[in-house]
Homo-oligomer: A and B are copies of this chain.
Amino acid sequence: MSIALETTLAYFRAWTGGDFEAALGHIAPDVVCDGPAGTLTGIDAFRGFMGPFAGSLVSSRLLAAYGDDHTALIMYDAATTLVEQAPGAELHTVTDGMITAIKIIFDRQPFVEARRTKP
């Protein structure tokens, strides 16, 4: 398996398995995360963004996972307490076994709706 994908899947299995702090062990301290709301820099900002999502996870399923030496791309289905269908796709850059850059795509719309109707 691709070295990058090994790291990505270790990260994915940790946070979807309920151990977000273990997942963060695969994230570089100066990670750059490009998501729907903009770019976050550093693991603390990343924790603030991804932690609540991970903490609300009900179930997940990896749909596809590919990678090569320094890049991995995955897509997954996820259900959270707030939103039942919250799939995501993540492109990771991996350097020396650490995820240094993440581009994440998901639909914010059902989260906005849920926050409106479930205050």
Where the two chains meet, the residues of A that have a C-beta atom closer than 8 Å to any C-beta of B are: 36, 63-64, 66-67, 71, 73, 75, 87-89, 91, 103, 105-110, 112
Contact = CB atoms under 8 A, between A and B. Distances in A.
B105 A75 contact: yes
B88 A105 contact: yes
A78 to B, nearest CB: 11
Stoichiometry, copies per complex: 2
Contacts of A67: 66
A108 B91 CA distance: 19
A105 B91 contact: no
Nearest to A5: B66
B71 A73 contact: no
B89 A63 contact: no
A89 B75 contact: yes
Contact of A64 (B36, B88, B91, B109): B91
19 contacts: A36-B107, A63-B91, A63-B103, A64-B71, A64-B73, A66-B67, A66-B73, A73-B73, A73-B89, A75-B89, A87-B105, A89-B89, A105-B106, A105-B107, A106-B107, A107-B108, A108-B108, A109-B112, A112-B112
